[in-house]
A and B are shown apart, each in its own frame.
Chain A
Amino acid sequence: MGGTEVRVRLWLAVPALAVVTIFFVIPYLNLALISFYEPSHRAAYIREFTLANYRGTVLDRFTWQVVWHTVWIGAVTTAVTLVLGYPLSYKLSRASSRMKGLLMMLVISPLLVGVLIRTYGWMIILADTGLVNQLVQALHGPELPLMYNDLGVLIGLVHVYVPFMVLSLAGSLQAVDPDLERASRSLGAGAWRTFWRVTWPLSLPGVVSGVVLVFVLAESSYVIPSLLGGFTVLTVPILVIRTITELFNWPAGSAFALLFFAIILGLVWAFLEVMRRPLQRLQ
Chain B
Amino acid sequence: MSAITLTSLTKRFGEVLAVEDLDLRIAEGELVALLGPSGCGKTTTLRMIAGFETPTEGSIRIAEREVAHLPPERRNCGMVFQNYALFPHLTVQENVAFGLEMRGLKRSEIRERTARILDKVGLKGLQDRRPRQLSGGQQQRTALARALVISPAVLLLDEPLANLDAKLREEMRFYIRELQREFHITTVYVTHDQAEAMVLADQIAVMMEGRLRQLGAAVDLYRRPASAEVADFVGVTNLLPGTVRDRNGSRLRLETAVGLLSAEGGERLRPGDAAWLSIRPEDLELGQADGGNQIRGTVRARAFLGNLADYRVELAGGQLVRVQTAPGARQREGDEVVLGFKPEAGWVVPR
Contacts and interface: CB of A to CB of B under 8 A. Distances in A.
Interface stretch (A46-54, A161-169, A183-191): A183-191
A139 interface: no
Band of interface residues on A: 20 to 34
A183 B78 contact: no
Nearest to A182: B52
A58 to B, nearest CB: 42
Given A187-B146, A188-B73, A189-B73, A182 B102 contact: no
B152 to A, nearest CB: 8
B102 A189 contact: yes
A198 B50 contact: no
A7 interface: no
B75 interface: yes
B83 A188 contact: no
Contact of B81 (A183, A198, A202): A183
Given A188-B102, A188-B103, A188-B150, A183 B87 contact: yes
Contact of A180 (B52, B77, B87): B87
Main DSSP-derived SS at the B contact region: loop
Main DSSP-derived SS at the A contact region: helix
A180 B103 CA distance: 18
A198 B73 contact: no
A186 B78 contact: yes
A282 B51 contact: no
Interface in A188-240: 188-191, 193, 197-198, 201-202
Nearest to A191: B71
Interface of A: 177, 179-180, 182-191, 193, 197-198, 201-202, 281-282
Given A177-B85, A187-B73, A188-B99, 6 more contacts: A182-B79, A185-B72, A186-B72, A186-B77, A186-B78, A193-B102
15 contacts: A177-B85, A179-B85, A182-B79, A183-B87, A183-B146, A185-B51, A185-B52, A186-B75, A186-B79, A187-B99, A187-B102, A188-B150, A191-B71, A197-B98, A282-B88
